[in-house]
Amino acid sequence: MERYEILKDIGSGNFGVAKLVRDKRTGELYAVKYIKRGPKIDEHVQREIMNHRSLKHPNIIKFKEVLLTPTHLAIVMEYAAGGELFERICNAGRFGEDEARFFFQQLISGVSYCHAMKICHRDLKLENTLLDGSSTPRLKICDFGYSKAMNLSPKSTVGTPAYIAPEVLSKKEYDGKIADVWSCGVTLYVMLVGAYPFEDPQDPRNFRKTIQRILSVHYSIPDYVRLSKDCRHLLSRIFVADPEK
């Protein structure tokens, strides 16, 4: 890690901490995820490294290298100066259809590339979509800790409750690609409405209710949100209980 100068903390999670660093030789900025050596370095970390390092696409955070320090494993990757898409929506309340389309197209571009590379992300959400610092922000997908190679049919329920597809909750084998598309649909809905599609507005923290609403595909678009017919149709094609359809 000698070649990097640590500038500041930029986040933390179950994994450990993320820091902003500068390459002393080139002056370039990177984000480094520090994971404590020992039991924290589990199959999710291995999977994240194996799957992420194979992906090279403008809408996916660039993987640079993995380094070992005496106490930590450090994953060095591209720094997205624009922060999370989640923050941008929180600040705006919600997006108009044009802005939502701009980001959704980039999200789908990155996800379809992952699928073409035979990798399902399985934890797509606004917090895992970052923005670069440019004036017309480029969306960048990050965090491949739950990702899975497609030759393995996933059975485990992973992901974040508000974004999980019905078939993932059913405990049977499911198609990770179609489940990713469902999560993209949730992201699109949140961008347009400023709320999660399957949460009960009166009781948003009740996960059991959220799960029941996901399983019955119970969502609606509030009257105050004006959406084109095409956009409503797209959401209705994504939010389908039977993944075969």
Return the structure tokens found at 197. Answer: 């599609």
33 appears as a binding residue in the annotation: yes
Residue with token string 């491949």: 144
Other Cβ atoms closer than 10 A to 34: 21
How far apart are the C-alpha atoms of 65 and 34, rounded to whole Å?
12
In this structure, are residues 129 and 188 in contact, taking their beta carbons and an 8 Å threshold?
Answer: no
Instruction: Identify whether 175 is a catalytic site residue.
Output: no
Q: Given the residues 123, 175, 180, 200, select the one marked as catalytic.
A: 123
HEC profile for the chain?
CCCEEEEEEEEEECCEEEEEEEECCCCCEEEEEEEECCCCCCHHHHHHHHHHHCCCCCCECCEEEEEECCCEEEEEEECCCCCEHHHHHHHHCCCCHHHHHHHHHHHHHHHHHHHHCCEECCCCCHHHEEECCCCCCCEEECCCCCCEECCCCCCCCCCCHHHCCHHHHCCCCCCHHHHHHHHHHHHHHHHHHCCCCCCCCCCCCCHHHHHHHHHCCCCCCCCCCCCCHHHHHHHHHHCCCCCCC
Binding-site residues from annotation: 33
Binding-site residues from annotation for ATP: 33
Catalytic residue annotation: 123
